[in-house]
Amino acid sequence: MTVVVPDLAVAESAGAGTGRLRLEALTKTFASRTGTVTAVDAVDLDVSPGEFITLLGPSGCGKTTTLRMVAGFEDATSGQIRLDEKVIDSMPPQRRPMAMVFQSYALFPHLTVGENIAYGLRLRRRSREEVATSMRMALTSMNLVGLEDRSPHELSGGQQQRVALARALVVQPKVLLFDEPLSNLDAKLRGSMRAEIRRIQRMFEITSIYVTHDQDEAMSMSDRIVVMNQGRVEQVAVPGEIYLRPASVFVADFIGRANFIEVVPESVSDGRAVVHALGQRLTAAAHPTVSANDDNAYLMARPETMKLTPVTDGRTGIGVVLRSTFHGPAVDYEIETTSGTLAVTDPGADPREALAEGTNVNVRIDPDRAYLLTRD
């Protein structure tokens, strides 16, 4: 066996302006019994220094494989990974200036909390004082003071999570990688850890790639979200845009809930289209692929962007209330219309005044928050 002294000069302090990560046509195929499976299909991505990017998608969409290629745990079949313009494809994981927070935390069970955090520092042959200083800072910033002599299994899930984060942070990586780090925590803790991770990431301005299948997590944490499906990137955008201007039916459907109403646009100009939907004529933003008289278009409207008005005095409306469900913060309705069954949310409704099932209603779509896209 050989003793490879890692070239840790690369791994030295990040500092501002570094940590630009570029994936160029990154592809990974696996051989399987039936042929080859493309797990990651020509993914292009440009991550600015200090940016927090989330890879979001259903399981098997290739997000974790992409992350593991960045970390160096998987070799790319083709394509390139550049860190600060330098191609790092052939660099083994231990020499990449990155640190990962694992889903299982992967804390070393035979080491104490302090030794876990110091592990990477000792590898970098830091002096005893330096290790002590960095560790104290990490413990303080992660709220772990007093736990340094504990064993990992004596800690709660949230504390283990913070140790894992501290262990990754102290080596001052240029890129932080997160592999579904919160999926083992309960819902409440998950919320506070999200804020914690984001706070730390902003404080140190470290480029971060975060993998999750939880859209809430992606929405609340990311500078930009990369939605992936079947190995391909469906859309890269800021959370608001992903939500209200999804690039495809898949994205719209995966993130939050969406109603898709079949429409034929009358005219399209400057990215805006005029359509008839649910007895309403409206002008809404449209995806570039949508053209006039396109019989392949959907009007996408989120449930909370639609408003119901009951139709009284015996007339019929555009739809009928099929079911109403009280959720605490909102009442959800299912409305049967000629354009299919729609989901409509009435936030802040008083459950005692909810519309009864069978009520005739009209539906109004907020044109500013509706979006036209092409069917897949």
Question: Of residues 63, 167, 174, 224, which one binds another protein by CB under 8 A?
Answer: 167
Q: Say if CB 177 and CB 143 are below 8 A apart.
A: no
Question: Of residues 114, 152, 239, 303, which one binds another protein by CB under 8 A?
Answer: 152
The answer to whether 103 contacts another protein (rule: CB under 8 A) is: yes
Tokens of 114: 């302090």
Task: Identify the H or E element spanning 258.
Answer: none
Residues near another protein (CB under 8 A), total: 45
Task: Give the number of C-alpha atoms closer than 13 A to the C-alpha of residue 372, restricted to the C-beta side.
Answer: 33
Question: Of residues 25, 108, 271, 296, which one binds another protein by CB under 8 A?
Answer: 108
The answer to whether 190 contacts another protein (rule: CB under 8 A) is: no
Nearer to another protein, 72 or 246 (CB): 72
Nearer to another protein, 123 or 292 (CB): 123
Contacts 24+ apart (CB under 8 A), 344-353: 344/259, 344/303, 344/306, 344/307, 344/308, 345/303, 345/304, 345/306, 346/307, 346/308, 347/304, 351/326
Distance CA 191, CA 220 (A): 10
The answer to whether 8 contacts another protein (rule: CB under 8 A) is: yes
Q: Say if CB 347 and CB 329 are below 8 A apart.
A: yes
Question: Of residues 63, 68, 174, 190, which one binds another protein by CB under 8 A?
Answer: 68
The answer to whether 178 contacts another protein (rule: CB under 8 A) is: no
The answer to whether 104 contacts another protein (rule: CB under 8 A) is: yes
The answer to whether 184 contacts another protein (rule: CB under 8 A) is: yes
Q: Please, what sign has the CA dihedral across residues 52, 53, 58, 64?
A: negative
Tokens of 276: 């008839």
The answer to whether 4 contacts another protein (rule: CB under 8 A) is: yes
Question: Of residues 81, 171, 258, 261, which one binds another protein by CB under 8 A?
Answer: 171
The answer to whether 13 contacts another protein (rule: CB under 8 A) is: no
Stretch that binds another protein, among 19-27, 160-168, 263-271, 338-346 (CB under 8 A): 160-168
Distance CA 105, CA 65 (A): 18
Question: Of residues 105, 210, 243, 371, which one binds another protein by CB under 8 A?
Answer: 105
Q: Are strands 330-337 and 319-326 parallel, antiparallel or unpaired?
A: antiparallel
Question: Of residues 110, 128, 188, 315, which one binds another protein by CB under 8 A?
Answer: 110
Question: Of residues 91, 106, 189, 343, which one binds another protein by CB under 8 A?
Answer: 106
Tokens of 102: 């694992």
Nearer to another protein, 151 or 374 (CB): 151
Nearer to another protein, 175 or 233 (CB): 175
Question: Of residues 24, 82, 89, 157, which one binds another protein by CB under 8 A?
Answer: 157
The answer to whether 19 contacts another protein (rule: CB under 8 A) is: no
Stretch that binds another protein, among 82-90, 171-179, 201-209, 362-370 (CB under 8 A): 171-179
For residues 295-307, b (16+ Cβ closer than 10 Å) or e, as one string?
eebbbbbbbbbbe
- How far apart are CB 163 and another protein at their closest, in Å? 10
Count each helix (H run) and each strand (E run) in the chain, helices first. 8, 21
The answer to whether 298 contacts another protein (rule: CB under 8 A) is: no
Tokens of 208: 């971060």
Residue window 111-130: x/- pattern of binding to another protein, with contact defined by CB under 8 A: x-------xx--xx------
Question: Dihedral, CA atoms, 117, 123, 128, 129, nearest 10 degrees?
Answer: -70
Nearer to another protein, 80 or 156 (CB): 156
257: Cβ contacts below 8 Å, ≥ 6 apart: 302, 303, 343
Distance CA 309, CA 321 (A): 11
Give the three-class secondary structure for 18: coil
The answer to whether 183 contacts another protein (rule: CB under 8 A) is: yes
The answer to whether 107 contacts another protein (rule: CB under 8 A) is: yes
Q: Which residues of this chain interact with another protein, rule CB under 8 A?
A: 1-6, 8, 11, 68, 71-73, 92-96, 98-100, 102-111, 119-120, 123-124, 152-153, 157, 160, 167-168, 171, 177, 179, 183-184
